[in-house]
Structure 1
């Protein structure tokens, strides 16, 4: 990967609660998924951060994959699992390798298929 390429970030909603979440369990589903994604991303070419609320509550669990100058994506409706975390990080690495942020469907990990909620064009570089 080009060391001058913009950093791809996985932004994880740590307040997401899936239907049926039990408050007695302690951590939210978003916190549990965030911990798995952070572990999976260690030593890889993407960075992670947590935010409290991506405002996609009916789509939870939610993450955003973003980099300056590239297409940015929101993904949701995830179960909390190691497979999910691996698929998100694997896809984010493909995003990092892409000049535009667009990743060919044939290369998508199975764990992210059917989980894309929105795609945002990059912000303009000048007014």
Structure 2
């Protein structure tokens, strides 16, 4: 089962300024996450806006049939990118997407924003 890291490439932290930054913090983070994920068994993709502006830099960790997570409030640096990719690898290895807290890389602790249950496999019994 493929675990995806979706990176918001339009995120701007509070200190972003057009006069001092050539690109968004999200673009910087995406480049770093892609670098750390290269050659590993997780995939990355960029999207423009995860609508978590108050929590930039934002990423999601997702896989079919597993719990999904949104994480934010990262500084776009190597340490954060490595922690995100490390968590994604643990997510990929888990049966349901839930990774025991004791296994979390230190760099993701305190960065979880939301958790979403997996979508149902079929439309039957979905209600409403």
TM-score interval for Structure 1 and Structure 2 normalised by the shorter chain: over 0.9
Cα shift readout 1:6-64 (whole Å, capped 9, x = no counterpart)? 20000000000000202132110000000000000000110000000000000100000
- Which aligned runs of 4 or more in structure 1 are off by greater than 3 angstroms? none
The aligned runs of 1:98-109 (5 Å cut-off) are: 98-109=94-105
The alignment status of 1:23 with 2:15, answered yes or no, reads no
Provide the TM-score with structure 1 as the length reference. 0.95
Give the Cα separation in 1 of the matches to 2:18 and 2:80: 22
Superposition RMSD in Å? 0.5
> Which among 95, 115, 124 is matched to residue 119 of structure 1?
115
Provide the TM-score with structure 2 as the length reference. 0.94
